[in-house]
Structure 1
């Protein structure tokens, strides 16, 4: 057990960059850690508040129909579904695709201990999200129902076991996707397509639930039956936590724990064979010598960065999912009228709001599609090659910005044109709908580079820790979303002013901010990059 604990601790400390920060003597490093910790705490607090508000709003509906147990049932099912969804991306990288596989496997440690430490890393990451969703829901339930003391005991104990089964399912699905894709020559493309198909299927099924409060209340019985049928553990969980049934409590924990232990045992037994099968790749045998082409340093760096981007399916999935969802939404609005959508979501005058706020809504999807926040960190130990190259470091940074714009702008333009058609916008609204998100795409790309320069993570063994868990990615995502929320809030507060004038003002402000960041890269980029 001591080996499992040590490996897990080292992996978690390395994943979040805490190991370096805790042992750093540099005052700047410690100050950076303090600011990052404060930012993370603020983000966690905001998520908890949103989760509490969402649970409370649902509880008001369930309380009116006398089915408060549905609150915990739905939130437990949502937690499991999102845990499944996010772990599918992380599982292959954490369990099989880590760079120090040969080093770790050569240590005098049992393979089962290595597997257990990797699975525990997934468990800790999923448990954090489970607490973020379930604790606010549990507090709301306690306020509304005022349950007995057994509720608190059973609720707290079962929290630890909720993520176990989703981890098993996600690992199996993720491994199957990787294995199927590895059987083809275009393995990365097949992997990406399969993952995108899974995402779209999950999103499409979630949109089938109506947002109207009265209809939502009327379908409570059917909703409960659907959840309990699709995920029987939810029924056991509700019987244990809400009805204090000891048998259901023991059965829920036993099934979750024994399934998890069996999964770890089987995985440890076949681990090396599974790793070999998943990491296998096809190579072409028809290589031909061709004449070399000559281009500018920027073009060479751009092509190199673009190849790096498309070489990682995890990188593509994590940074382009926002644009794919934007495109899917734009296409769906061609077949669903905005007024009809407003009736379904119980939002009056939705079409009016969409016409005014569409540029900012589109920009929200751009904010979660930033590739530059991890592009420098992904250089890893090879960063010295770029640092020693006889090329202005501003050119290197701008090549990363160019790749970000290459990923976002084509889909952005197509989506905006489709939205113009479906929303029947005027010429001024259409222009703003196109220009504002494009400006924000430039802001997001440049901001991501600056954040990654300030918060680099060059020591990593798995791409997952850089692309999904690094400080730069979290901070850049936080800045992007908060900036959009602030702009949306200003637009709503100044609703008595012409919406086009507000958007013009926002566009001018964003241009100024982009110009300031661009000049900062030109003035300080060389020094910051060489200091990495």
Structure 2
């Protein structure tokens, strides 16, 4: 057991760059750690407040129909879905795709202990999201219901076992996707496509459920039946926490733990064979000598960066899922009007809100698709090649920005055109809907590369560490979120002011910030890159 904990601790410390920061004597590094800790704490508080607000809003509806137990059922299902989605495309990387596989497997440690440490790492990462969803929901339930003391004991006991089954399901699906894709030559592209197919299929299924008016009308019975049929463990959880049934609590914990142990045991016994099967790939076609083509330094770097981007399924999935969600949402709104959607979710003015705030909504998906916040860190041990290359370092940084814009801008334009049609925007609203997201795309790309060059992580062993868990990614997401929350708040507070004027002012401010960041890269890019 001590070996499992030691391996897990080392993996977590290296994932967030804490090991270096805790042991360094460099004042600048310690200052970075302090600022990063403050930023992460602010982000956690913001997420917790938003989660509490959402739970409180939902609880008011359930309180009216006398079904407060549905609050915990829905939030438990939501936490499971979040854990499933965040694990499905990173499980393969955490369990099998780590760079120091040969080093770790050569240690005098049982293979089962290595597997257990990797699975435990997945569990701890998903536990954070579970806590962010369930603790606020549990607090709201306690405020509204004023339950017995036994509720708090059962709630805290069951809380730790919620992420187990979603992790197992996502890991199995992720491994199957990797295995199927490894049978083909274009394994990475097929893996990306299969993962997106699974995600979109689940989304379409949820859209069909949400569009069922009978379900929304008769929430007291239909909604409960839907959740409990789709996820039976939710019924056990509700019976245990809300009705204080010891049998249901023990059954919920026993099923979760036994399934988790069985999964870890089977994986441990067949781990090397599974790893070999997943990491084996087909050779490409025979090499044919062709004339060498020359191009400009920027174009060559752009092609190299684009190839690097497409070579990592984790990188692509984590940074493009936002754009896929935006595209799916835009297509869905072509078939369901904003007025009907407003009636379904009981927000009559939703159509007006969407027309005014659509540019910011689209921009939110764009900021979630920032590739530059991890592009420098992904160079890893090979960063010396770029540092020693006879190319200006500003060109290297801007080539990474160009790849980010290649991912976000085309989908943004297509989605905005579909939103113009579905929302029937005026010419001024259409212009802002098209321009504001493009400005935010430039802002997100430039901001990401600056944050990453300030907070690099070049000593990673798994791409998941850089793409999902690095300090640069967390800080970039936090800055992007704040840059959108403030305009959202201003637009809602100044609802009596012409919304187009507010968006125009926001666009001008973000453009000015972009010009400052571009100038900063041009003047300091060389020095910053050489300091890596």
TM-score (norm 1): 0.97
Q: Is the 1:212–1:345 Cα contact (8 Å) retained in structure 2?
A: no
Distance 1:215 1:269, change over 3 A: closer
1:104 Cα deviation after fit: 0.5
Q: Is the 1:178–1:278 Cα contact (8 Å) retained in structure 2?
A: yes
1:211 Cα deviation after fit: 8.8
Q: For residue 348 of structure 2, what is the aligned residue in structure 1?
A: 348
**Counterpart of 1:207 in 2: which secondary structure?**
helix
CA distance in 2, matches of 1:140, 1:214: 27
CA distance in 2, matches of 1:52, 1:213: 27
- 1:59-93 per-residue CA deviation (whole Å, 9 max, x = no partner) reads 22222222211111111111112111111111100
Q: How many residues align?
A: 532
Q: For residue 437 of structure 2, what is the aligned residue in structure 1?
A: 437
Q: For residue 293 of structure 1, what is the aligned residue in structure 2?
A: 293
1:215 Cα deviation after fit: 6.9
How does 1:353-368 map onto structure 2 within 5 Å? 353-368=353-368
1:339 aligns with 2:339: yes
Q: For residue 196 of structure 2, what is the aligned residue in structure 1?
A: 196
CA distance in 2, matches of 1:366, 1:379: 23
Distance 1:230 1:498, change over 3 A: closer
**Counterpart of 1:373 in 2: which secondary structure?**
helix
CA distance in 2, matches of 1:356, 1:241: 42
TM-score (norm 2): 0.97
How does 1:109-508 map onto structure 2 within 5 Å? 109-210=109-210, 216=216, 218-508=218-508
**Counterpart of 2:288 in 1: which secondary structure?**
coil
- 1:240-267 per-residue CA deviation (whole Å, 9 max, x = no partner) reads 1112212112111111111111111110
**Counterpart of 1:496 in 2: which secondary structure?**
coil
Q: Is the 2:216–2:344 Cα contact (8 Å) retained in structure 1?
A: no
The root-mean-square deviation of aligned C-alpha atoms, in Å, is: 1.6
1:101 Cα deviation after fit: 0.3
5+ long unaligned stretches in structure 1: none
Distance 1:450 1:346, change over 3 A: same
CA distance in 1, matches of 2:334, 2:232: 38
1:60 aligns with 2:77: no
How does 1:2-41 map onto structure 2 within 5 Å? 2-41=2-41
Q: Is the 1:211–1:345 Cα contact (8 Å) retained in structure 2?
A: no
1:217 Cα deviation after fit: 6.5
- 1:88-132 per-residue CA deviation (whole Å, 9 max, x = no partner) reads 111100000000001100111110010010010001111111111
Q: For residue 88 of structure 2, what is the aligned residue in structure 1?
A: 88
CA distance in 2, matches of 1:69, 1:361: 32
- 1:133-156 per-residue CA deviation (whole Å, 9 max, x = no partner) reads 111111111112222222111111
Distance 1:217 1:421, change over 3 A: closer
1:51 Cα deviation after fit: 1.0
CA distance in 2, matches of 1:320, 1:21: 30
Q: Is the 1:212–1:346 Cα contact (8 Å) retained in structure 2?
A: no
**Counterpart of 1:333 in 2: which secondary structure?**
helix
Q: Is the 1:79–1:130 Cα contact (8 Å) retained in structure 2?
A: yes
- 1:484-508 per-residue CA deviation (whole Å, 9 max, x = no partner) reads 1111222222333322222222221
CA distance in 1, matches of 2:328, 2:431: 21
Distance 1:231 1:337, change over 3 A: closer
